[in-house]
Amino acid sequence: MGIGRELMKNKWLYAMSLPVVVYVFIFSYLPMSAHLLAFKLFIPVKGLWGSRWVGLDNLKFFFAGPDWLGVTLNTIFLNLLFMAAGTVCSLAIALLLNEIRLVYFKKVTQSLVILPHFISIVVVNLMVVNFFNGQDGLINRMLGRVGVDPVYWFQTPSVWPWLLALIFVWKGAGWGSIIYLATLTGFSEEYYESARIDGARSWQMIRHITLPLLRPTIIVLTLLALGRIFYGDFGLIYGIIGDNSLLYHSTDVIDTYTYRSLRSTNMNSYSNAAAVGLFQSVMGLVTILFFNWAVRRVDNDSKLF
Amino acid sequence: MKTRLRDSSQLTVSVAAYVSIGAFALFCLIPFWLVYIGSFTAESQIVQGFRLFPTRFSIDAYRFLLQGAQIYRSGFVSIFVTVAGTAGAVLLTSMFAYVAAHPKVKYRYALSFYIYFTMLFPPGLVGYYLLISNWLDLRDSMLALLLPLLFSAFNSFLMTAYFRTLPFELNEAATADGAHELYIFFRIIWPISKPVIATIALFYALSYWNDWFNALMFIDNPHLHPLQMMLRRIVSNSQNLDYLNTNVNLPVSATSVQLSAVVLTIGPIVFLYPFLQRYFMKGMTIGAVKG
């Protein structure tokens, strides 16, 4: 009955899982102890345990400062924007691809819309810089041709949430459509057959059959994304905005803020970064648990645990 | 009358579908096309901006890049890390995911939760940084590029979801015949799990190939810079092409060198893409929602 007997009985199976168990302990559980730094004044030579406790000073410093509300709101706003744009575009791509009958056209276009997903952010950044940069960048020359004054993109924070959403869609919407497409190709042909006999038009079938059937998938994916609303897309945002402080006002999220706190030459940089990180992890945990509970209420089969 | 009406509505939807999907596909393709064309454009032309079609053809940017030492060092680092990392990651992940799916294993849900908790409560950047740079002391070591990406909880859940669909009676029969668990896994389970293994291998290979963040944080020695880091260096500091270690004196612009480096970096992905696509379309959808 005991744990020991179960481990002995399936010792080879447990042994197969051991490398990952040890790995995850070292790479995920051990670093969690660094959250304690949020309550300490970290001196690298003294290490995590040797450093002095300072109670809530670091957290007070973060919440008393001018930044915390801005980065938190930016994180939430950008995530909502990405979610809305991503969901609408992925769904539209899936529905439209499903209407295409020419097999060759479908294959080629589907390959093309997924391709950007496989490209590193460094490459995306290079494209963005070269297309938007300066007065003679590609975009500004095109604007000039239709008589619009050039925009100094890298000095205009207000456009960046929308540009980042555009880049997010360019990079991820095709990839996101795979899951919707796979779901809707599984729907029974009978629904469509009987609708056709009743004289339904194509867009009526999309609106009254396909979309309602896709609803659970859309809701579950949205709730899962909402659960991660306190985690900014670090790769995309830092990869493209980098250290351009002119754009922080609209693009600085909790993750980029933490990274900058960590790198700053401030003597308390580790502890400040840890305080922000703790705030994020706690908020993240609460939202994930809440939205997983919500997923379970919507669709018990899709719950995560 | 009714049929005609339906036909015309069908036609409208079809035309709308072809036009908008075609337009979005072009939108996805054009940046690649511009980069590709730009990399072959002579220096005198590129300074006037990007063109949809080449005006004056030149391979000087490639000659400049390929005669330097850095592209070979970085290429070696990228290839080595990607191949070694992917092999290790696929082996570890598949073994773990199999055990987490095995009905005979009493603590399989506990194992899954052990992994899932790290998604609920991630360690955070500070802990990660301290672990790699202070506690494990991996600064300026290739292990700092290999180890952090060796296991992904998402990939593991994708595989577990697949393994749960397997007929475990197969194992029962083999166990009754006295086959070893390792034999069953490698000789029976692997061959029937090719789509999901190919999918996971692709995901890991891409995360290794496209990784720049670990190099940015932990690698200062240019000899250990992967291609993405090399690219980042010449993009963020375009004055400094010395980094590429080229002795030749060619009249190249920083832009065209950047673009040719991009072409060389994404070349392998675009080249392998059609072969891999048929696998991941299958593997992606097995348990994607359920995670």
Angle, alpha carbons A177-A183-A187 (nearest 5°): 135
Taking CB atoms and an 8 Å cutoff, what residues of chain B touch A17? 95-96, 99-100, 111
Low-confidence ranges of chain A (pLDDT < 50): 305
CA of A302 vs chain B CAs: smallest distance (Å): 5
Tell me the CATH architecture of domain A70-254. Orthogonal Bundle (1.10)
Of A13, A122, A234, the CB nearest to B181: A13
Q: Which residue in chain A has the smallest CA separation from B95?
A: A16
The predicted structure's pLDDT at residue B290: 38
Per-residue pLDDT of chain B (291 residues; tens, 9 = 90+): 445 555 677 788 888 899 999 999 999 999 999 888 888 887 666 656 666 777 777 888 888 888 888 999 999 999 999 999 999 999 999 999 999 999 889 999 999 999 999 988 888 898 999 999 989 999 999 999 999 999 999 999 989 988 988 888 777 777 777 778 888 899 889 988 888 898 899 899 999 999 999 999 999 999 999 999 999 988 876 556 677 766 666 667 778 888 899 999 998 888 888 777 777 766 666 544 433
Contact between A174 and A118 under an 8 Å Cβ cutoff? The reply is: no
Q: What is the CATH number of the domain that holds B213?
A: 1.10.3720.10
Task: Test A178 with B281 for CB contact under 8 angstroms.
Answer: yes
Residue B47: the pLDDT is: 58
* Per-residue pLDDT, B60: 84
CA distances (Å), A287 to each of A84, A210, A234, A293, B57, in order? 18, 30, 19, 10, 55
Percent of chain B at pLDDT > 90 equals 43
Number of domains in chain B: 1
Q: Is residue B210 part of a domain?
A: yes
Give me the residue spans of the domains in chain A. 70-254
Question: Which string of DSSP letters, residue by residue, matches A45-59?
Answer: TTHHHHSEE-TTHHH
Domain that holds residue B119: 69-251+267-284
Give dist(CA B289, CA B291) in Å, integer. Answer: 5
> Comparing C-alpha atoms, which of B108, B174, B35, B119 is closest to residue B291?
B119
Domain contains B55: no
pLDDT at B29: 93
Torsion of CA B36, B39, B41, B45, to 10 degrees: 110
Mutate to test the interface with A, among B28, B184, B236 (most CBs of A within 10 A): B28
Hey, is the C-beta of A21 within 8 angstroms of any chain B C-beta?
yes
- From A110, which residue of chain B is nearest by alpha-carbon distance? B25
